Amino acid sequence: MRAITYSEFGSADVLELTEQPDPHIGPDTLVVRVKAASVNPVDWKIREGRLRRLIDVQLPAIPGWDVAGVVEQVGLDTPEFQVGDEVYGYVRKDTVQGGTFAELVAAPVRTLARKPASLSFEEAAAVPLAGLSAYQAIQRSGVKAGQTVLVHAAAGGVGAFAVQIARALGARVIGTASEANHEFLRGLGAEPVTYGDGLADRVRALAPGGVDVALDFVGGDSVAISAGLVPDGRAITSIADPTARTEHGGQYVWVRPSTADLDALTALFDAGKLTVELAEVFDLADAAAAHRASETGHTRGKVVVRI
């Protein structure tokens, strides 16, 4: 099969299009013919070697965790799916080696769900890691109808999903973003505020009593600012800053694969309550360019690779 691989840590230049053996299938694993995969910041951080203390990488490695495709082969104990099913998933394994930037990927059944019928393969591939991050952060925070929720980096890949999910739950959402993304956030149902100096004052101008929940998807000083806006530090949830938990008693969320949570996202998509935005779609041979596009940090929407 064709796959993108890297044999050393480094810049996007280490990514190569190579021929690799077809993946091995285990008893609780499916082989998926990949239609599309997406790039997440964690992908290029792993490729650069930044996360070696957290994540085991076996070189040469095929990058990528997000996938959308069609079940090609089923394992001995995978009754949830049949050959030909259209699926999507967050195919995170214990070791980074056999990722989704390939024509075929072996995916543990716990990492997959049926693809939303309302989404193309490219759109579906953009969802799993970012969508699950948003959904699990909101679930851990206990967001409910009538609350006011502050979303940091609301126009980003995770933040845009969080805005929509919180709105679907009946919450009021205030979202931080650059002015260029304010109209985009209004379209998602959020009240935008510009990040930077004076952010807390701008939030209080919209919510004089502060907010019920703060969701941090960017890090930096977001958790510290949130601490002055929530009634209790336990109302802060972050996917980027562990001090939300260690210093404020809130939540630090490291996204987990979950079929049930993907099914919940699928229901929101197919009910028209959730949308996904694509920044750019690349061919597999141009995976290095896709990584570079994601690394700029200036894209709105997800960068996707079509296989």
pLDDT by residue (tens digit) across 211-223? 999 999 999 999 9
Listed in order, strand segments (DSSP E) in 79-167 are 86-90, 95-98, 104-108, 112-114, 148-152
User: How confident is residue 54, by pLDDT bands cut at 50, 70 and 90?
Assistant: confident
According to DSSP, the β-strands at 104-108 and 29-39 are antiparallel
SS3 state at 149: strand
**Cβ(143)–Cβ(230) under 8 Å?**
no
Q: Is the pTM of this model over 0.85?
A: yes
What's the pLDDT tens digit per position in 97-145? Answer: 999 999 999 999 999 999 999 999 999 999 999 999 999 999 999 999 9
Q: Which pLDDT score, from 0 to 100, does residue 157 have? A: 92
Statement: residue 71 has pLDDT above 80: yes
Q: Is the pLDDT of residue 297 over 80?
A: no
Average pLDDT, the chain: 96
Q: How far is CA 134 from the centre of its chain?
A: 7
Binned at pLDDT 50, 70 and 90, residue 37 comes out as very high
Q: Tell whether the model's pLDDT for residue 81 goes beyond 70.
A: yes
Has residue 17 got a pLDDT over 90? yes
At 128, is the secondary structure helix, strand, or coil? Answer: helix
Phi, psi for 48 (deg, rounded to 5): -80, -10
Contact 181, 192 (CB under 8 A): yes
Edge-to-edge order in the sheet of strand 236-238: 191-194, 172-177, 148-152, 213-216, 236-238, 251-252
Q: Is residue 301's pLDDT more than 90?
A: no
Q: What is the pLDDT of residue 300?
A: 80
pLDDT above 90: percentage of residues in the chain:
96
> What's the rounded Cα separation, in Å, for the pair 228 and 209?
11
Residue of 193, 188, 191 lying closest to 178 (CA atoms) = 193
At 151-201, the pLDDT tens digits run 999 999 999 999 999 999 999 999 999 999 999 999 999 999 999 999 999
